[in-house]
Every structure is written in structure tokens, then in C-alpha cells.
Structure 1
Amino acid sequence: MTTMKPISPNDHYFDHYLFDNGSDLGAQQLNSLSALFDGTTRSVLSTLPLPASPNSLEIGAGNGSVARMIAEQTGGQVVAIDLDTTHLPRTPGVEPHRHDIREGVPAGPFDLIHARLVLTHLPARREIFAQLIDELAPGGWLVLADVGLADELLVAPEESDHDVWRKYNDAAYRQVGPAAGHDYLWAEQTEAAMFGAGLSEVSAEHLVPLARGGGPWAVYQSNLSKQAEAPLLATGLSMTDMDRYRAMLTDPEFRARFFSLTYTAGRKPSA
């Protein structure tokens, strides 16, 4: 790993994935992320005019699906970093590293930097954002995908589920997340931040997926509740409400929008 630029530590940092990547459930979550997001990620990245054999950085690489995608599509080299590389294999064109982005951004220059579901969850997001731009090559692209809250229960299997939904979301996204420094407004602020940093050709795509009971979004959310069970219960959420929340997500009648997802891309002006 090349020289890092140090950034200030944050004592309230909470693992941005909210789960243990080394566990079986963590592996399921990483695979779920790939299944849910990789199609859109591929579509966004495939539109970017990159040089031949670009040098790329993938942050929060997870199981490596996006890093492999970039390497295969571009024929270039990808530095893939994550807090836990248990499920991040070395493959052609992909160089995995265990690294905490809070400790600094790997030195570039990079023709492409991509981070998915990372900056929303990091208190030092704006400082890291500035460092990412510093490490872009002239003409290089920064692509960020982050989540916001949709928080819409459209069809509840039981009338009382509206109260359970409210209690769970209050615990998860108004207590646990903010206490850890998560900012669910960041995703929709990224476009303005890129313009403000002098990037050009800035574009943003905003998606609000619809989840059905037993479907992939509901399964992902249920698994996430299991990984974050201890801090959620510490807020005062009851195990009875937690169990009902998970049961609700398996009901075929259930329909909801959990998150919005915003992909934002910007290009560093050529020197």
C-alpha cells in the first residue's frame, strides 16, 4: 500500500457496514449488496470515458464484485480496500488491501475512484471526500453511491405493524445511525459537493427501490437487523417488536421503501 495521508480519528465511528464481514451472515450481506446494486453500478460505470488500462481505486470493496467488474471492463488495475478482506480474493487486475479509509486515502493518481455505501456512514466524510478528489488524476472520475432514507411502509400485513415499523426505524436511523455519525442527507448533497469542489460533467441518478415481503431488499434488511441487534435493543426497542419486524418482512403482502440510492459522478478537469 502506498503512502497514506492521515485524517483525524473519530471515537464514535461505527463500522460502516453495520455487520461482521467475517461471519456467515456478513457474507450473505455482501452477496446481497452485489445482487441488489451491481446492475446499477455496472450501468453507471460503463458510461464513463476512461483511458486505456486505467488505474482505479475501489473503497469498501466487500466481496470484490465491483473491483472485478472494473478490472474486467477496463483492462486496468484496481486497488481494492476494505476494513475486512475475508471475502475479497486476489483476482486478475485486482489488488486487495485491508485498510481503514479513515487512516487516509491511498496515494494516486487514480483515473477512477468508486465508493458505494461508504461516505454516508463516516463522520469525516467531507474530509475524506476532499482527499479523494486530491488523488484523482487530471480527467479522472469520482463515483459515489450512497443511501438516504425513504421510510415508507406502503402495505402492512397488520395494522399494528405501522407502529412496529416506526419504532424500528426510529431506533435504527434516528438513534443508532446518527450516534455513530451517519448522515442520511449526504447522498443528495453529493452533487453540490462535487460542483463545489470544481469537478465537471457532474451527474446524479436517484433511485427508490420498492421492497416486497420475502424479496431481496426485505431479506437484506432483516439480516441487517440481526447484525445490529445489540445496539438496536440498547435503544429500548423490545425483542417482541424486533421479532415482529422480521416476521413482517417475510410476509408476501408487505410492501415498503426502505432506502433511496443516489449515484453521483464527477470528473476532475484536465490539467
Structure 2
Amino acid sequence: MLRYTLRRLLGAIPTMLVIISLAFVLLHAAPGGPFDAQKALPPEIKKSIEHTYHLDEPLYEQYGRYLVQILHGDFGPSYQYRGTRVNDLIAEGFPVDVGIGSIALALALIFGTAIGILAALRQNSVWDYLPMGIAMLGISIPSFVIAPVLILIFAVTLHWLPAGAWSGGDPSHLVLPALALAAPYTAYVARLMRGSMVEVLGSPFIRTAHAKGLPLRTIVLRHAIKPALMPLVSFLGPAVVGIITGSIVIETIFGLPGIGRYFVDGALNRDYTVVLGVTILYGALILLFNLLADLAYALLDPRIRL
């Protein structure tokens, strides 16, 4: 398994190089520049600023310089937030996304898995149709609709929770964003778990366990749940990245200082280094969690360790 992990990590290097190259070329091919929005900027001053940030160099020299910076762990300076490095912006926003995303992920896994197992055990009954119907609604309704509804109910009407802001990570300010972010993922997990558990419960080894007189709880916890988790693990690879890095819409609605806000502002203002830094971070996280998902497969099913 160690050899496989090292091989995957080495294989991620050319993949990241492709991601960096495509993002770099596409950003610089877009019309406009990071300082074009300045009003009545004299040509001499604009030329001096571009020289300071090496934007007057040929594109291949800028690309080579940026690769060297990345090898040193430096994403470069931000063009929009003067005097600030992209590393500082990511260090400021990423913990916010990790905090809210981790809570949302835990909620989605706990409630989604429980609902899916319950629906599978009560197949074709009201305990199956009702939660799966609600889960379908959770998948169909976008988060930018769920979030205002939660604010209207729990903040405006009941006054139980604050409507937004960060406030240094006060737990009460994390509840509504985490719930809004967790809702669609809970629905996905519930439907995946229900379908997988129904298939596993119809397997020959489960029928054998029933024939031996094992109680249902033992059958589910000891024999059925591990193979039923296999499809869920495949889904969690990219899903963990999406939920931990947060949603741009959720950040905007609740006024969260996450990296999604910097990404949008950077794209609108041609802040190349910020957009590239966030893109590289997303790409690296996707590769990492896909690798972890494959390794989790080996833990759940020893037959595929080779």
C-alpha cells in the first residue's frame, strides 16, 4: 500500500502541473488586466506598477517565475489587496471554511447514514418513502434557497440564532451556515446509503447470517455496514473538498470571510495570483481526498488492497 501511495503522489505532480498551466494561460488570455480598473491612471505609473509585479515580461517568463515561486511555497502578492500575500489571504480564509465545512460534513454523514440505513431496513414502507422524498427535495433545492429560509425561520421569526457574520467563530454563528451547507450533502448520503444497503441486505452472506439466527442489529453493524459504505466512500472523495472549502453562495449570504470571497473578487478584478492560488489549493485537495478515498477502499475491503 505504501508503494501505491507513493506512486499516486508522484502521479499527482504532472496533474497539478497541467492544472497550473491551464489556469495560468486562461487567466492571462482573458481580456483586461489587474490594473485596468484604475481611473485616469497615467501611463508612466501604470508601466511602473506592471514592472514591479513583472507583468511587463513575456508570458513564458512570468510562467517560469510563478512555477519557481510555487516550488518555494509562495503564491505571490495579491494585486487587489496591496501589501498582502496570497498565502496570507488563504491562511485567513481557509480555517473558516474548514470549521464550517467540518461541522457540515459531520452532520451529513451522521444523519444521512442513519436515514439511509433506516430507509433500507424499512424498504417500501412509509419510513422509506418519506425520508427519501425529503432527500430528493434536499437535492433539488439549491443552497441559496435553503439558507434564506433558515435565516427567516431561526433568525428573523424565532430569534434563536444570528443571521450571519463570523464573530470570531462563535458557535451560535456557525449553526445556520453549517445546516445550509450540510442539507444537500445529507440528502445525497441518505440516498446513496439507502441504495447500497438494500443491495447488501439482499446478498447471500446476509441471508446466511439471518439463517444462523443473528439479531438484526448485529447483522447490520458487523456484516452489512462495511460493504454498504463502499459507494459512499467514492462520493466522499470530491464531496469532502466541496463541503470543507465551503460554498461561495453560503459565504456571501452569511457574510463569512472564507476563501470563496477572495476567489470571486479576484476573478472580477483580474487578481491573477489569488485566483491561481485558490485554484491550486482546490486541485491539490481534490487529488489528496481522492487518494484517501482509494485508501479507505482498502480498509473496507481487504480483497482490493493489491
For the pair shown, the structure with the greater C-alpha radius of gyration is 2
Q: Which has the higher helix share?
A: 2
Short-chain TM bin = under 0.3
